[in-house]
A and B are shown apart, each in its own frame.
Chain A
Amino acid sequence: MTQYAFHFSGSRCTGCKTCELACKDYHDLGTDVAYRHVYEYETAGDWKADEAGCWSVDGTSYYVSVACNHCDDPACTKVCPTGAMHKDEQTGIVSVDTDRCIGCGYCHMACPYNAPKVDRTKGHSVKCDGCAERVAAGKKPICVEACPLRALEFAPKEDVERNNKDSEVADIAPLPSKGYTHPNLYIVKPAGAEKADEATGKVVNTLEVK
């Protein structure tokens, strides 16, 4: 098996969401479903005034772009009552067999990355499949090819590891600790990123990450 993985250069990302919108264009998604989304996270910290009324602030803000991480130990497949949500034995891609999916939404609730969604008009789960047809045709997933900052990559896991030696498996806030599902998402940390299990802050763009 060749497990595929995403790579996210958090130190390049500007939070523009071109990845998310290119995905929506290619996969023809509406306003209510996104396969990739971008968290805007603010760490703890406060504005403090000195004696002269001048301001300083601690803490920071950063963006994290995330889709399905095609995890080694996916939460979504475990809870699927029909086996529709499955991990491909050849590529490690997690996808949904729409004929078997009953649209119960357990996968959506179980996934700590908010990756699978239930499309109520289609009546089944939908999610990122790594743009399988593009990759098979020698192209990159649409989000990867779209990023103006070249902050995304998608390739076999060993290639991602070899080409990004300083990168780590994603273990930063606001994502869950990597131990939950062992995601195939490698990252260069954004400046000021907090460890997942030491998160002090919160996602502020809650209405933008559906």
Chain B
Amino acid sequence: MVDAKLSRRTFVKASGALGALAVAGGSAAAGNLFGPAVPKAHAEEADDVIWTHCHVNCGGACVLQCHVKDGEIAYVESDNTGDSSFGGEGFQARACLRGRSIRRWINSPDRLNYPMKRVEGTKRGEGKYEQISWDEALDTIASEFKRVKDTYGNEAVFIQECSGVEQNFMMNNPFFRLFNLVGGEVTRYGNYSNGALNFGAKPYTYGDSWGARSFRTLAPGELVVLFGNSPSETRMSGDGLGYDLAVAMEKKGVRVICIDPRRNDLATNHEVEWIPIFPGTDAALVAGLAHEMIKENLVDRDFLHKYCVGFDEATLPEGAPANSSYEAYILGTGYDKVEKTPAWAAAITKIPEARIKKLAHEIAEAKPCFIAQGWGAQRHTNGDYAARAVMLLPQLVGQVGLPSTNSGMREGNSSMDIPTLPTGDNPIKEKFPNFMWPEAIEWGEKMTATNAGIQKGDKLKQPIKFLVNYGNNMMSNQNGDINTTTDILRDESKCEFILQYDVVWSDSCNWADIVLPDLTPQETWSLSASGENCDHKGVWVGRPTSEPKFERREVYEVCAELAKRLGVEKEYTEGKTREAWMHELYDEFREDNPEAPTWDEMLTRGIWKKDSEPDNEVDPYIVDPEANPLETETGKIQIYSPELAKMAKEWELPEGDEIYPIPVYVPGHDGPGSETEEYPLHLCGYHTKAHTHSSYANNQIIQDAHRHNVLINPKDADERGIKNNDKVRVASKQGEVEIEARVTKRVMPGVVMIPEGAWHDADMQGDKVDKGGCLNTLTTRHPNPISKQTGQHNALVQVKKA
């Protein structure tokens, strides 16, 4: 690569006397090289360069150096410290296009400036609000809290997740800290990202996060097989997983196979093989691969016998019936009695039989082999099984727990451990599955451990009556089936009070009773660890880029005001401001990392990076499985889960849902084979580069560069008379959107794809047609049978020219 110093010298030399002027006079003089009238981007130096970072829920936490002039960010640089070379020793947390465009978002016309309340006499969803004072807003919130607490108990209080401010020491902790001082609140478990994988698959297979390794552990020439995984798009930062995989491909000659319904951005430009798969059929592919491996004697039976239970009849746990092993399922002697040949799998996955057979041999012969799934495969209504099936694949060939292998779950990542604002103790223990919060409003008191996966208790005591949304867009955007969800919210007798507290007027604000204006994380004090990456460790300290404008106020201080009204101010603040907490928590971090700079140093330098190497040792369980058992019921890797076998008998499931102890293929609701004349196409969601979930989706400059559209194959488009860039209507049983069509060979026939996160924009008193093209207008509310988590990124649809 080019030497920066050399470039500069040569540039100056080439410019002769004017070049010397350029150096002496800074940027203003440099313009002389190109004529006096050439506009200069930044003729004057900034008043200050303020280090802060991006805080949204992409997994990254990229560094932003904000060049501030007259109290406004003039432009942004990112992390340009240390080694900038591709695959070099150090790392740079370079922001992606979203962080680079932060000043347009901070100055967005959608910013909230004042507290607002819903106009009396109007319904939720009508969108009529009036400005009120902070005192009125805070008094109302406090009195509503007291009323709900007195009427229903603290079990009726719920704080939603805060995806918009995820990478931060503060997050929505102030609300938890406050409510825990006054009786607590009901809580959730799981998340929208990987709920099925982490709650429907992992606990029953490995017990805990086990066997995951980062891309930095890849061996030269190794085979990497990815299911529904595009780190080039989902981990885009300069220190992200996409970067490290690109380095491994170029520097180590790593070979990658992407199995995905869409040619994702890992399978463009790079020498990556794309195998298109019909969405929701990953478990069928694994079954077909297993069949070929069994028939060709490619499975590692020694590994399976020593470390796993339930692959074959010989290793079934006690109490399991005959022919309940995975091998019996594959060979057609158990379960549905159908042999899962590659031809059987081909008919379901739409992958040619010969390619399935070849893939079985490629995976079995590769040593080491690195198999990982993104969070696409599990975000279907059969996602619990898809996730477990992909996890099974490395087990079949003994490629888990060894160096340069992976668990079949998401590739490993780690970051720095930074303490967050303490939240105290919550006396209420019951937890419900994250995805089911609308159900917890509608029939919470009937939700039990066996019909809705309630944990830490047998049932919920109360439906949700008091709902806090801080830093999220969950009400009408980021949760499955917007039209059903908002019907629940519209009825004020169900959830009696809804607070929305955000930086911008997202569509969720239209469902709130009170709306509060927040500061962006860049306008206040912040402390974060480097993002999810391949063991690149760093800590970032952010200073406010400006004074608060209008009547915007940050969350810690606002909760202190509420604490005053609820009589617990002293206990809540302990006499500390947000900045003081941050200083204290940083010092706490320094106790474990004494080599880190002092607080005062951090205020000026902004970032600190620590060298670290990823773990690539043989796992203790592999070294000695008896001495180091896994956290499963059997202590082993469970291909057959006795926990699931028990749940299959005891749980009450909706019609069509079933629980199996092994990772079978089931089509799931609206899955493959359920197409109708009315809805013949399968819709699948994916993550776009234009926004992080719904964060930044209102920042027009990015949306203009990555337009929101539905990907449709030329065959399906031609049948419908649809041309590239045409406006189309996409309709499912749940709703209808208007959106631009991208006619592209990057998506397989029969499948259309829409990125999640675009802002819902519909007349909810009228036709409800969503002109914003939000994926969740079309998706369902059907949770996975085991995890009860997000299975919503599949739906059956029709597409028509608008």
Q: Mark A1-44, 1 if CB is under 8 A from B, else 0.
A: 11010010111111111101110111110110010001000100
A31 (CB) vs chain B CBs: closest residue: B704
Contact (Cβ within 8 A) A156 B23: no
Contact (Cβ within 8 A) A45 B745: yes
Contact (Cβ within 8 A) A24 B724: no
- The interface-forming segment of A106-114, A135-143, A177-185 is A135-143
How far in angstroms is the closest Cβ of chain A from B398? Answer: 29
How far in angstroms is the closest Cβ of chain B from A128? Answer: 11
- Which residues of the other chain, B, contact A91 by a CB distance below 8 angstroms? 11, 14-15, 33
Residue of A55, A122, A131, A154 contacting most chain B CB atoms (<10 Å): A55
B700 (CB) vs chain A CBs: closest residue: A31
B40 (CB) vs chain A CBs: closest residue: A133
Residue B97 contacts which of A18, A154, A204 (CB distance < 8 angstroms)?
A18
Given contacts A129-B38, A133-B27, contact A15 B268 (CB under 8 A): yes
CB of B240 closer than 8 Å to a CB of A: yes
CB of B673 closer than 8 Å to a CB of A: no
CB of B84 closer than 8 Å to a CB of A: yes
- Which residues of the other chain, A, contact B745 by a CB distance below 8 angstroms? 42, 45-47, 57, 59, 61
Contact (Cβ within 8 A) A53 B706: no
Contact (Cβ within 8 A) A146 B78: yes
Contact (Cβ within 8 A) A147 B101: no
CB of B127 closer than 8 Å to a CB of A: no
Given contacts A55-B350, A150-B1, contact A15 B707 (CB under 8 A): no
CB of B452 closer than 8 Å to a CB of A: no
- Which residues of the other chain, A, contact B14 by a CB distance below 8 angstroms? 1-2, 90-91, 156
Q: How far is the CA of A97 from the CA of B350 in the complex (A)?
A: 58
CB of B584 closer than 8 Å to a CB of A: no
CB of B408 closer than 8 Å to a CB of A: no
Contact (Cβ within 8 A) B269 A135: no
- Which residues of the other chain, A, contact B777 by a CB distance below 8 angstroms? none
Q: How far is the CA of A126 from the CA of B236 in the complex (A)?
A: 30
Q: How far is the CA of A154 from the CA of B57 in the complex (A)?
A: 33
A94 (CB) vs chain B CBs: closest residue: B34
A interface residue count range (under 10 / 10 to 19 / 20 to 34 / 35 or more): 35 or more
How far in angstroms is the closest Cβ of chain B from A15? Answer: 6
CB of B742 closer than 8 Å to a CB of A: yes
Contact (Cβ within 8 A) A204 B8: no
- Which residues of the other chain, B, contact A86 by a CB distance below 8 angstroms? 35
Contact (Cβ within 8 A) B40 A149: no
- Which residues of the other chain, A, contact B702 by a CB distance below 8 angstroms? 21
- Which residues of the other chain, A, contact B103 by a CB distance below 8 angstroms? 25
Contact (Cβ within 8 A) A160 B2: yes
Q: How far is the CA of A135 from the CA of B86 in the complex (A)?
A: 20
Contact (Cβ within 8 A) B725 A22: no
Contact (Cβ within 8 A) B33 A148: no
How far in angstroms is the closest Cβ of chain A from B215? Answer: 14
How far in angstroms is the closest Cβ of chain A from B759? Answer: 17
- The interface-forming segment of B242-250, B290-298, B372-380, B512-520 is B242-250
Contact (Cβ within 8 A) A93 B276: no
Residue B37 contacts which of A88, A97, A153 (CB distance < 8 angstroms)?
A97
Q: Which of B729-768 contact A (CB under 8 A)?
A: 740, 742-746, 748-749
A101 (CB) vs chain B CBs: closest residue: B37
Contact (Cβ within 8 A) B35 A204: no
Q: Which of B317-370 contact A (CB under 8 A)?
A: 343, 346-347, 349-353, 355
- Which residues of the other chain, B, contact A21 by a CB distance below 8 angstroms? 97, 100-101, 701-702, 705
Given contacts A88-B34, A132-B34, A208-B704, contact A52 B353 (CB under 8 A): yes
Contact (Cβ within 8 A) B7 A155: yes
Residue B269 contacts which of A10, A46, A206 (CB distance < 8 angstroms)?
A10
Residue A27 contacts which of B16, B41, B353, B700 (CB distance < 8 angstroms)?
B41
CB of B526 closer than 8 Å to a CB of A: no
- Which residues of the other chain, A, contact B351 by a CB distance below 8 angstroms? 54-55
Q: How far is the CA of A167 from the CA of B626 in the complex (A)?
A: 55
Q: How far is the CA of A18 from the CA of B18 in the complex (A)?
A: 32
- Which residues of the other chain, A, contact B350 by a CB distance below 8 angstroms? 53-55
CB of A78 closer than 8 Å to a CB of B: no
CB of B227 closer than 8 Å to a CB of A: no
Residue A52 contacts which of B78, B233, B238, B346 (CB distance < 8 angstroms)?
B346
Contact (Cβ within 8 A) A15 B269: yes
- Which residues of the other chain, A, contact B34 by a CB distance below 8 angstroms? 88, 93, 95, 129, 132
CB of A80 closer than 8 Å to a CB of B: no
Given contacts A52-B346, A90-B14, A159-B10, contact A16 B97 (CB under 8 A): yes
Name the 5 nearest CB pairs between A and B, nearest first. Answer: A2-B14, A136-B30, A136-B22, A133-B27, A21-B97
Known: A11-B269, A61-B744. 17 other contacts (CB 8 A): A25-B76, A31-B700, A47-B749, A55-B351, A59-B745, A98-B37, A133-B40, A136-B11, A136-B23, A140-B7, A145-B80, A147-B238, A148-B95, A149-B246, A156-B10, A191-B268, A191-B271
Residues of chain B touching chain A, judged by Cβ–Cβ distance below 8 Å, are 1-8, 10-16, 18-19, 22-23, 26-31, 33-42, 75-78, 80, 84-86, 94-97, 100-101, 103-104, 232-233, 236-238, 240, 242-243, 246, 250, 263, 265-266, 268-272, 276, 343, 346-347, 349-353, 355, 689, 700-702, 704-707, 713-715, 724-725, 740, 742-746, 748-749
Residues of chain A touching chain B, judged by Cβ–Cβ distance below 8 Å, are 1-2, 4, 7, 9-18, 20-22, 24-28, 30-31, 34, 38, 42, 45-47, 49-50, 52-57, 59-63, 86, 88, 90-91, 93, 95-100, 122, 126, 129, 131-140, 142, 145-150, 153-156, 159-160, 163-164, 190-191, 204-208
- 23 A-B pairs within 8 Å (CB atoms) are namely A1-B14, A12-B250, A14-B232, A15-B269, A17-B705, A25-B100, A28-B75, A31-B701, A52-B353, A54-B347, A56-B355, A57-B745, A59-B745, A99-B35, A126-B39, A131-B41, A133-B30, A136-B23, A148-B237, A148-B238, A150-B85, A153-B2, A204-B742
